[in-house]
Structure 1
Amino acid sequence: MITNFFPLTLCEVQIFVCIPGTYGPDCEKRCGKCVEGPSVCNTTSGHCPQRTPRCMAGYSGPRCDKNCNPGTYGSDCEMKCGHCFEWGSVCDVTVGHCPDRIPRCMSGYSGVTCDTECKNNTWGKDCLQTCGKCYNKTECDAVTGECPVTTGNSTCDPGYSERDCIKECTPGTYGPGCEMRCGNCAEGPTLCNTISGLCPLRTPRCMPGYSPPKCESDSSVSSLDYSRVIAGSAAGICLVLIIGVIIIVIMIRRNPRNVQTGGAVVSEPNSTPAQKSSIPAESTNTNGIHEPSSLYNTCDANSCEDHSYMAIHEYVNL
């Protein structure tokens, strides 16, 4: 007979575990948008695994249960929306697309996310506008469409004006920025080429008194200048000839015995003392000026002075 014994009490213990995708004391809460799936959050706190990224696109926070703030999108809401035209409408929090409207983007941008800047000579909302004739094919401002001021203070190509260089030159003007005035074309001063300024190729091309091709210069002035050039050249030639004659005269005075006759230089035959004495010397008039003897104009069988030499000799003595 058993006399000593201890009472044994049996109890039932139940352990409850939240099913995947729920958490909390009673598992009444659902996990957020964890990037690895909604069934992997912590069953106690509900936090998603700390990864990068942590949340699906469009959500943020430790539990990935918060929608992206306006202007952000993507995983963990780390992306910034583009330049959507309607700032009151946020971009799609998942892919960042701007609302599908016309226009979709602000001036200077294009694309579904409105983050692509205008290029290839385009500007404006959705980059639908085309740049004007900017100087040397430079890009215009993507927002305003204005052409930049380049070196030399030029904005537009010849033939165009205004800041966007879209407006063509008004009649009577031409060149970069339309700052030049047409010349005096025969058909009127408003008909010159707006790019080059040339007058129409007609006959006559210019109004009387002006020269082609732009009919800007007075032809009379050009003729006067040409006449002055001719007169100056003629005066220079005359001066050279005078200097040449003076040199020849000086050479003859230094060697008067050599005279040029018939194209050849010959020596004057030697004269006898009697012959030399027979030629009277030059006389001096009352004014002290030497006068050549009249015998220089004579010629006999033994001695004949060339008249051209005598003329030069007389001129030198004078």
Structure 2
Amino acid sequence: MKSNASVLASLLILLLALLIGGVMTGAYELSATELWWALTGRAEELEHFLVWQVRMPRLVLAVVVGAALALTGAATQGLFRNPLAEPTLIGVTSGAMLFAVLMLVLSARLLAGFPLWMQQISVSLAAFAGALLTTGIVYRLAAGRGRLNVTTMLLAGIAIAALAGAFTGLMVYQSTESQLRDITFWSLGSLGGANWTQVAIAAPLIVVGGYFLRRDALALNAFLLGEREAAQLGFRVDRVKRRVIVWVALLVGVCISLTGLIGFVGLVIPHLLRLWRGTDYRQLLLFSGLLGASFLLGADTLARTIVAPAELPIGILTALVGAPFFLWLLLRERRKTVFL
């Protein structure tokens, strides 16, 4: 088995290669020379604008969002002690979807007369607020007498997700044809329209959140033995749970608010690395972030080119790649169990 240092180097090289390939690839392709001129400020105005204002912010956003989704997926799996868990279970996605749909349907009436920039960011702000609000409700339902029951949180998350889904369906029923098209596009996820302002908002939050999640890596390792055993090892179990939930909700909420719903990154990437490198969360969290960034970066580049000059929603690609791959992993694990 490769050492952790060699795996880290391989993942960084893969990420860099995909980043360079993503900048060069698209409806308007760039040669290596044109890319170098654009990076050094000697390119024509068109190439310079294409690289720095269109592709680079989009690719950097793909990196930070992909890293955050995979990282939070790994942390959620550690929290629930279940390799099939993902942030959807604590109500983040359902809340973001409901509030985004509410804003898409009601913005014409609620924001009439407001500045254009406020109308443009209203859906993102609403999705972020919805993600945090529903996660907070699930947390309050699961917390009692100073303790946080993970099983109750799972059940509460399922109930809140169903309730939010019902209200989302009602709003979709009330939407116009134009609003329905916007809702469908948002629910499929997209990195189109990314800019440096979005990167400046998302990147610091995701870096800080990733740092604090990784600080709890030893506690997540201890959780593999059980909560009682983790407490006996000196970890404050309920505090760890609260920290992980808060950071997962914050990071996923930021991602959804900027890109819409992008599935399977937080489910497949940590599971794959767990099969490859084991369950040590000190490495698993870091490697998940890097591989998740590469996965979403590659998916976005493919989404921009597979039907060029049009663009395929990235959520469709992640599902097309992630779902069959995850089924293959499940079948692989079942065969191993049978033979054992």
Q: TM-score, normalised by structure 2?
A: 0.17
Per residue, is there more strand in 1 or in 2?
1
Return the TM-score normalized by structure 1: 0.18
Structure richer in helix, relative to its length: 2
- Structure whose alpha-carbon radius of gyration is higher: 1
Larger RCO, structures 1/2 (Cα 8 Å, 6+ apart): 2
